[in-house]
Amino acid sequence: MKRRGRGIACMWYPIGFTVAANPSAALVKVNEDGTATLLTGTVETGQGSLTVLGQIAAEELGIATDDVHVISADTDTTPMDTGAIASRTTYVTGNAVRLAAGKAKAILFEVAAPMLGVKPDQLEARDRKIQVKDYPQRNLAIGEVANHAQVVMGQPPIGAASFNPATVALDPETGQGKPFSTYVYATQIAEVDVDDETGEVEVLRIVAAHDCGTAINPMLVEGQIEGGISMGVGFALQEEILFDAAGRQINPNFTNYIMPTSLDMPTIEVDIVKSFDPTGPFGAKGVGEPTAVPTAAAILNAIHNAVGVRITSLPATAEKVLAAIKAKRAPAPKRIAARPRQLGR
Amino acid sequence: MAHKTEIGVREQRVTQKTLHSVDETLRLPAVTPPVTYPIETLVPQVRQQTPAVGQRVTRPDGRLHGLGQTRYIDDLAFPGMLYAKIKRAGIASARIKRIDTREAEAMPGVMAVLTGREIPVNSFGPSLKDQPVLADDRVFHAGDGVAAVAAVTEQIALEALDKIKVEYEPLPAVFDPLEALKDDAHKVHAPNSNIYATKVIKKGDIDKGFAASDHIFEGSFRTQMVEHVPLEPHAAIAVWDPNGRVTIHSTLGRITLGRADISRTLKLPLNRIRIIATIVGGNFGGKNEITQEPVLALLSKKTGRPVKGVFTRTEEFIATTTRHPIIMDYKTGVTKDGRILARKVRLVLDGGAYCSWSETTLGKACILSAGPYKIDNLLAEAFVVYTNKTMTGAMRGFGAPQVCFAYESHMDDIAAALDLDPLDIRLLNAFEEGSPSPTGQVLQSVAVKDSLLQAAQRFGWKEARK
C-alpha cells in the first residue's frame, strides 16, 4: 500500500571561499554607440552566469542586457577570476563587474555633465540615456555621450575593477572568526509516496523557498533550483558509486549507476524569498550550490513521516527502505499451529 | 529549369551524405551539416530590457544552444589533430615495477607515448600537492593513469593502450575510512598519517550545555560516494606552438588555478600558457582542477601536433573527483520545549586517494554542521582520511548536502520525541538577523525563518499535518 508523507528541511550556505582570498576582476568597455563589452575570467558552465553578469553591467550603465557582449574564460585576454566555484560568481564577480561598469560610467558622466550643464553627481544612467536626476527631460543618448567621450574628448569610457569578499581568519583552536562575507538560506518541503510492500519511494512534489538576495534573473534562479533538486533526488534515493573488495568501481556507467531522469522528477514549486544583501551587487548573493543541499534531507524526513522508519544512510533505495519497514514491524515469533491443517482432498 | 535545380540539390545531399558516412567510418572530425536558421535577431527596444536587474531575460547563449550551434570541446578540430587516451591502473594500491611501451610505440598510427617519469613536476593539487598527473612509482587508486598514447585515431590510441605492459607489485590497501583512522592501518601516503586535515569549531561549553538539557538525543548518519555526472565529460585540446607556447582549450571551470597547476607541472612560465575555456557542459565542482591537460600538452610537444583528449563516461567515474562520503555522529541537548542548548558533532570524511578540495569540504562541512540554528554550546570536530579509492573533491555543496541530511534528520527525530511539529522546532531554533554563527560571526540578511514560513505556506504544511 502506498503511504504518503511530508518532510521539511532547511539549510544555510556561504558564498565564496572559506577565509581564503577569492578575488574577481572585470573590465567594461562602452562602445561609441552606447553598447558595451564585458571581459570576465569566469567560466560559463551552463548555469547562465554570463547572462547575470551582463545584466549587472547593463543595470549599472542603464542599458539593455542585449547591449552588453560578454567575453569570458581566456587567460590571455580576460582579467583574473577565481572561477565558477563556491556559488561565488553572482556575488564576487558580480561586484567586480558592477564596480568596473561604474568606473566606465563615471567617465561618461564627466563628459556628459558640461554637455547638460550640470555636475557629474547630478546624473544618472537609465534606459540608454544619461539624464539629470529628478529632471529626466534633460538627457542625452548614452551613445552620443560615449561617442563624444571617445572621439571628441579623447577619453574612451573603460573601467576595470576587482572585488574580494571580506573575511577574518579562523582561530586554529576554536574555529572562531568570519570565514565568509555572506550566507544564503533555504527551505525545501518534499511530499512522497512510499510503497510499504516494495519499499519504493516516489517523490511527488517539492516546494523550494530559496533566499538568494536580489534575484538578478528569476528565470535562471528557478533553473538552478530545478537542477539542484534533480541532483538532490539522485543523492537521496538512487545514486551510489560501489566498489568491489579490491577497491575497483563496479558501476561506472549509466546502466548500473542510476541517475534520476525526467520521469523521476517531482512537481517543483519555486518561491524566491525576498531579501537584500547590502554587500552584494544590487543586493544579490547567490544560489548555485544551495539548491542541491536540503533536497535529500527533506525527502528522507518525508519517508519517515510516511512509514515511520528512519533511514540513516544514503541512498534510501527501495531495498533499504523495505528492510527498515520489515525490521520495524514487530517481528512476531512464528507460531506453529497446534494441529496440522487438514489438506484439501 | 526547376527540374534541373531539383537534381542539383539532390546531388548535393547525396554528396553530403557520402561525406558523412566516410567521416563516420574513419572517425574523422565531422563535416558540420549545413543548417538554415534565421540570421536576423531582434534588437531590444528601450524599456523591454531596462532596468536590467530582476528581468527574466533570455540567455545570449540560449539561441546557440537551441540551434545546436554551441561548440563544445569535442566539436572542435584542428588540422593534423591527434587523439589521446590514458591507460588506467585497474589496481588500487601497487608499486609500478616496469612499464614497457615499445610495442605500442611501434604500432602504425601511434605518434607518441607518455609515462609519468616524463612529466617535469609530476604532482599537483589545490591545497596539498599529492596527486601525480600520471602515476610514476606508485598507484594509489584504481583510476590512476599510468601511461598515455597519442594516435591518429581514437581506435588506434585505444588499441595501443592494450599493448602497453605494466608490471605491478601489489601493496596493502585500505578502503574503509574508519579503518584508515586506526593507528595500525595501511598508510596510503606513508610515512604521512592517513588523517590529512582536521577542523574544530568550539563555542561556549558543551558540558554545561548538556548538563542543563532536559533531553539528550544521539544519531549517526552516513552518506555515499556520488559523481557529478556532467553531460559533457572532461575534455581538452592542447596545441603546442613553435614559439614554445601552449594553448589549451579545456572544460576547466577555474582557468586561473588551472593555469598555475599546468605551469607547475610543465615547469613553464605562466605567460607561455593560454587556457581557453569554452562553454562548459556542466561542472558541479568536478572540473575545478586539472586532469589530463599536462598530458595532452606534453603529447602535443612530443608530436608537434594538436592533441585532443575526451574522457569516457567510465573515466568520469573512476578518474575524476567525487563527493565525500561522510560518517556523521550527532549528540544534541534540548530543553523540554525543544530549544537546542548544546550540540556535539563528529565528522569523518572519506578523502579517497588524494586531497583535492578535501580541506575546503572539511571546513565547510564542519562550519555548517550545526545547521542554521542558534546554538550557544557547540563542539564540531571533523577529520578527512586517505583511502585507496577514487579521490573525493569539490561537489555542489562542499559537504553541506551530507551534513544537512544529518542535522535535519536528527531535528525531526528530536521533534518526534518531544511531540513537536517539525516546522515549529525549526522556527524556535532558527537564526535571526544578527544571530551569531558557530564561528561567532554576526549574521546579516538572514532569511531562514522567511524561507521556512514561505515554503510551509506554499506547501500547505499546517493543513497537511491535521
Q: Which domain holds residue B402?
A: 177-227+321-465
One domain for residues A194 and A137: no
Beta-strand relationship, B145-151 and B82-88: antiparallel
One domain for residues A239 and A309: yes
Does the distance separating the beta carbons of B227 and A75 come in below 8 Å? no
One domain for residues A147 and A245: no
Q: Are B97 and B167 in contact (CB under 8 A)?
A: yes
Question: What pLDDT does residue B37 have?
Answer: 72
Tell me the C-alpha to C-alpha distance, in Å, between residue A202 and each of A6, A238, A280, A297, B10.
12, 11, 38, 15, 51
- The answer to whether B461 contacts chain A (CB < 8 Å) is yes
pTM comes to 0.93
- The answer to whether A288 contacts chain B (CB < 8 Å) is yes
**B306, amino acid identity:** P
- The answer to whether A271 contacts chain B (CB < 8 Å) is yes
- The answer to whether B9 contacts chain A (CB < 8 Å) is no
Neighbour order of strands in the sheet with B326-334:
B195-203, B377-385, B340-350, B326-334, B215-222
Asked whether residue B183 is domain-assigned, the answer is yes
- The answer to whether B301 contacts chain A (CB < 8 Å) is no
DSSP B309-348: EE--HHHHHHSS-BPPPEEEEEEEEE-TTS-EEEEEEEEE
Does the distance separating the beta carbons of B448 and A10 come in below 8 Å? yes
Helix (H, G, I), strand (E, B) or coil at B38: coil
Asked whether residue A157 is domain-assigned, the answer is yes
One domain for residues A88 and A159: yes
Does the distance separating the beta carbons of A86 and B398 come in below 8 Å? yes
Rounded Cα distance between A333 and B43, Å, is 77
Q: What is the CATH number of the domain that holds A59?
A: 3.30.365.10
Contacts of B398 in chain A (CB under 8 A): 86, 289
The cell 553578469 sits on which residue?
A53
Contacts of B173 in chain A (CB under 8 A): 246-247
The cell 533505495 sits on which residue?
A317
Asked whether residue A35 is domain-assigned, the answer is yes
Best of B345, B398, B451, B462 to disrupt the A interface (most A CBs within 10 Å) is: B451
Question: Which chain B residue's Cα is nearest to A246?
Answer: B92
Question: What pLDDT does residue B372 have?
Answer: 98
Does the distance separating the beta carbons of B426 and A18 come in below 8 Å? no
Question: What pLDDT does residue B2 have?
Answer: 44
Q: Which of A289, A310, A312 sits opposite B397 (nearest CB)?
A: A289
Asked whether residue B215 is domain-assigned, the answer is yes
Q: Are B83 and B157 in contact (CB under 8 A)?
A: yes
DSSP A161-204: EEE----BPPPTTT--SB--SEEEEEEEEEEEEEETTT--EEEE
Q: Are B124 and B261 in contact (CB under 8 A)?
A: yes
Burial group, residue A153, by CB count within 10 angstroms (0-12, 13-18, 19+): middle
Question: What pLDDT does residue B441 have?
Answer: 98
- The answer to whether B409 contacts chain A (CB < 8 Å) is yes
- Write out residues in chain A with pLDDT < 70, as ranges: 330-345
Rounded to 5 degrees, what angle do the CA atoms B431, B217, B220 make?
A: 95
Asked whether residue B208 is domain-assigned, the answer is yes
Asked whether residue B431 is domain-assigned, the answer is yes
Contacts of A224 in chain B (CB under 8 A): none
The 8-class DSSP code of residue A233 comes to H
Print burial letters for B335-345: b (CB count within 10 Å at least 16), e (below 16): eeebbbbbbbb
DSSP B115-152: EGGGSSS--B-SSS--B-SS-SSEE-STT-EEEEEEES
- The answer to whether A290 contacts chain B (CB < 8 Å) is yes
Rounded to the nearest angstrom, the minimum Cα separation between B136 and chain A is: 20
One domain for residues A222 and A128: no
Q: Which residues are bridge partners to B239 per DSSP?
A: B247
Domain count for chain B, please give it: 1
Rounded to the nearest angstrom, the minimum Cα separation between A218 and chain B is: 6
What is the phi-psi region of residue A117: left when phi exceeds 0, alpha when psi lies from -120 to 50, beta otherwise?
Answer: left
- The answer to whether A13 contacts chain B (CB < 8 Å) is yes
**A145, amino acid identity:** V
One domain for residues A243 and A209: yes
**B257, amino acid identity:** L
Best of B50, B221, B381 to disrupt the A interface (most A CBs within 10 Å) is: B50
One domain for residues A156 and A184: no
Number of H helices, E strands in chain A: 6, 11
Task: Determine whether A124 is an active site residue.
Answer: no
Rounded Cα distance between A167 and B50, Å, is 34
One domain for residues A8 and A25: no
- The answer to whether A65 contacts chain B (CB < 8 Å) is yes
Average pLDDT for runs of 10 along chain B of length 466: 51 61 59 66 74 90 85 94 98 98 98 98 96 97 98 97 98 98 96 97 98 97 98 97 96 95 98 94 95 98 98 98 98 98 98 97 98 98 98 97 98 98 98 97 97 98 80
Q: Which of A170, A182, A273 sits opposite B450 (nearest CB)?
A: A273
Question: What pLDDT does residue A252 have?
Answer: 98
Rounded to the nearest angstrom, the minimum Cα separation between B205 and chain A is: 12
The grid coordinates listed for B432 are 535571526
Does the distance separating the beta carbons of A8 and B461 come in below 8 Å? yes
What is the number of CB-based contacts under 8 A between chain A and chain B? 395
* Boundary-marking domain end, from A163, A190, A224: A163
Domain count for chain A, please give it: 2
Asked whether residue B62 is domain-assigned, the answer is no
CA B364 to centroid of chain Cα atoms: 16
Helix (H, G, I), strand (E, B) or coil at B246: strand
Q: Which of A83, A217, A293 sits opposite B255 (nearest CB)?
A: A83
Question: Which chain B residue's Cα is nearest to A55?
Answer: B52
- The answer to whether B427 contacts chain A (CB < 8 Å) is no
- The answer to whether B211 contacts chain A (CB < 8 Å) is no
Does the distance separating the beta carbons of A313 and B222 come in below 8 Å? yes
One domain for residues A39 and A6: no
Beta-strand relationship, B340-350 and B273-277: unpaired
Asked whether residue A94 is domain-assigned, the answer is yes
Rounded to the nearest angstrom, the minimum Cα separation between A266 and chain B is: 14
The grid coordinates listed for A3 are 503511504
Helix (H, G, I), strand (E, B) or coil at B41: coil
Question: Which chain A residue's Cα is nearest to B396?
Answer: A289
The grid coordinates listed for A153 are 574628448
Asked whether residue B419 is domain-assigned, the answer is yes
At B81-101, the pLDDT tens digits run: 999 999 999 999 999 999 999
Best of A19, A33, A45 to disrupt the B interface (most B CBs within 10 Å) is: A45
Question: What pLDDT does residue A17 have?
Answer: 96
| ipTM of this predicted structure | 0.94
Q: Which domain holds residue A247?
A: 2-14+180-328
Q: What is the CATH number of the domain that holds B212?
A: 3.30.365.10
Task: Give the CA-trace dihedral at A68, A69, A74, A80, to 10 degrees.
Answer: -10
- The answer to whether B412 contacts chain A (CB < 8 Å) is yes
Does the distance separating the beta carbons of A228 and B396 come in below 8 Å? yes
Does the distance separating the beta carbons of B203 and A176 come in below 8 Å? yes
Q: Which of residues 17-46 of B touch A (CB under 8 A)?
A: 43-44, 46
Q: Which of residues 34-53 of A touch B (CB under 8 A)?
A: 41, 43-46, 48, 50-51
The cell 540615456 sits on which residue?
A129
Q: Are B290 and B124 in contact (CB under 8 A)?
A: yes
Question: Which chain A residue's Cα is nearest to B272?
Answer: A76
- The answer to whether A258 contacts chain B (CB < 8 Å) is no
One domain for residues A196 and A323: yes
- The answer to whether B458 contacts chain A (CB < 8 Å) is yes
Q: Are B328 and B345 in contact (CB under 8 A)?
A: yes
Q: Which of residues 140-169 of A touch B (CB under 8 A)?
A: 168
Asked whether residue B135 is domain-assigned, the answer is no
Q: Which of B44, B407, B431 sits opposite A66 (nearest CB)?
A: B44
- The answer to whether B92 contacts chain A (CB < 8 Å) is yes
* Boundary-marking domain end, from A135, A163, A191: A163
Helix (H, G, I), strand (E, B) or coil at B158: helix
Peptide bond just before A315 cis, omega within 30 deg: yes
Best of A49, A95, A240, A241 to disrupt the B interface (most B CBs within 10 Å) is: A241
One domain for residues A43 and A148: yes
Rounded Cα distance between B274 and A74, Å, is 7
